[in-house]
A and B are shown apart, each in its own frame.
Chain A
Amino acid sequence: MSLAERTKIYEGSRIPQRVPTVLDVPPELLSSDDILQVNFGPNHPSTHGVLRLIVDLDGEQVVGLSAVIGYLHTGFEKNMEQKTWWKAITYPERIDYVGYQNNELVFVLAIEKLLALEIPEKATWMRMLLCELNRIHSHLVFLGTSALELGAISMFWYTFREREMVLDLSELVAGQRMHTRYFQAGGLAEDIPRGFYSECRKFVEWMPQALDDYLGLLDRNKIWLERTKGVGLLSADDAIALGQSGPVLRASGVDWDLRRDDPYLSYDKVHFHVPVYHGGDVYDRYRVRMDEMAESVRIIEQCLDKLERMDGKPWIADDRKVVLPPREELHTSMESLIHHFKIVTEGYRVPEGEVYVAIESPRGESGCYVVSDGGPKPWRVHFRAPSFVALEATATCMRDTLVADMIAVVGSLDAVMGDSDR
């Protein structure tokens, strides 16, 4: 970790003084008649959903800004309190609907931490594989949409071509393209289907070439470079103070990745490199995500090597109080039938306690805090949504930018509104 030796992006702090997330119009400008207040969103093609920005403009210069969120608030946390633990697993995927697999993982890990369940190795490696596929999926959506917003329309078609391949793999594994609900407390919902490894290998072989194509399209494109370099600056200290995580933090020169620094699953057993850039601008955030996709492909390859030698191994823990009994036993075993009935109707009970689990989702630290009273339903569920935190940085990043750059900056923070509003 080289937290000390980093280049200065700018001197001092740029976090607004009065309210850290609101950029106030300077008083000397307020008295002039030239300030135009523009309402950007909530329905605007480049707000990634329903983000609303109230912007004060002095000509083309952004001089005041405040972000308004909540248009997609659906009360996930309240809803999950009404569901049994295992029925609540469907909710987190829909919170961050682009990084669905990672969000599902963090909730399942929290349940397992309270239950103190041992997870079979095969399930752990498959979880890692799917989470990395999902990371690629998420970064492809970021790349496609933010390039589209800056005018690079063709990028969108290329990235969505590869995204389709990821979704096909999801469909092959779980029967669903998105929101798979494939992770169960205890392991996986079903065994890995035959033919998955070879299909996944094809993707692994294809993807590096696709990444080269993206670089070829964007990285020497003068318009792209001029629109992204030096725009939306965020220094390392400001990023940490504002709680930024994931690619936004790493683009500001902070060498921090939970997969390496606080390993979960089997991330300590795979080799990968954590990309860090020091410019703290839109361009570096894009570069971090590009590099991460290449690293994800490497991790997927290592997962495949492991998984291919695990045929016939168990994919879910053998704990009949939590895990559904195998289907075939229901016809022959009374106990299995009872267990099945109890888990499906009442749900399993989770020991009393509170835990906070954090993982490195495509957007950064995705955390899940759960409280159990020992019953079959969660007492309290709360998500630390990385998109919610990323949007806190809008005011700092958009200091002294032009109104057109605002779109580039919002895109580079890669907020999913479902995640930030929950």
Chain B
Amino acid sequence: MNVRDIPGFLDVREEHGETTVVVERERVRDAARHLRDELGFNFLADVVATDYLNWGTKGVSGYIGTASGRDLNLPMTQGLQAQPRPKPWRFSVSYHLLALREGAPRLRLQTLLEDGDPVPSVVSVWPTADWHEREQFDLMGIRFDGHPNLVRILLEDDWEGHPLRKDYPIGGEPVRFSDAE
């Protein structure tokens, strides 16, 4: 399987027995079509976005006791064992692909982006991407260009913010019947 022919190819990694192919954000749909038609990845298992804000710094949440109880927004007690490799981009969007054939080959198609960058939707390639992309839009705030129905799916329509982002506070909602309310 020659992954270097994939449109927009940038990089390929082999880690933990998994292949990750990184492509240019603008060419995700072309890459997806190539993977489906030329390389036989007919099954899209999953679309998932990751937020790398504050990656490699101390975490933003932990359990340090304060006079008023536990503050979930203070840095955590333990540092990292080793500095992880830097992530120059804020978000990654990964597509987990599977080919329904002998050997069950899998491949992760990945693209990197900054906040607000639109990613071409792959609904026209794999219809199952419809809800997966809506979920990542809803919880992570990734915009998918060309999605036919990009509205929130798990949260209500008037929800503010995208909860899985790292800058979305934990315990940011006022607790009912407490002093803070």
Contacts and interface: CB of A to CB of B under 8 A. Distances in A.
A243 B80 contact: no
Contacts of B163: 75, 78
Interface stretch (A184-192, A201-209, A345-353): A345-353
Contacts of B77: 346
B81 A349 contact: yes
A380 B93 CA distance: 12
Interface residues of B, number: 54
B46 A241 contact: no
B89 interface: no
Interface in A353-385: 353-356, 358, 365, 367, 369, 371, 373-377, 379-380, 382, 384
Main secondary structure of the interface of B (DSSP, over half): loop
Contact of A21 (B50, B81, B85, B130): B130
A258 interface: yes
A379 B49 CA distance: 12
A185 B165 CA distance: 27
27 contacts: A20-B130, A21-B131, A69-B154, A73-B154, A73-B155, A75-B163, A78-B164, A81-B61, A113-B16, A114-B16, A116-B16, A240-B42, A241-B126, A241-B128, A243-B44, A346-B78, A354-B15, A356-B96, A358-B45, A358-B98, A371-B50, A373-B55, A373-B80, A384-B45, A384-B46, A384-B96, A421-B154
Contacts of A382: 46, 48
B94 to A, nearest CB: 7
Contacts of A256: 100
A77 B126 CA distance: 25
B84 A22 contact: no
Contacts, number: 136
B51 A356 contact: no
A1 to B, nearest CB: 7
Contact of A367 (B46, B56, B128): B46
B122 to A, nearest CB: 12
B93 to A, nearest CB: 11
A389 interface: yes
A353 B18 CA distance: 11
* Size category, A interface: 35 or more
B104 A262 contact: yes
Contacts of A116: 16
A197 interface: no
Contacts of B101: 1, 3
B148 interface: yes
B113 interface: no
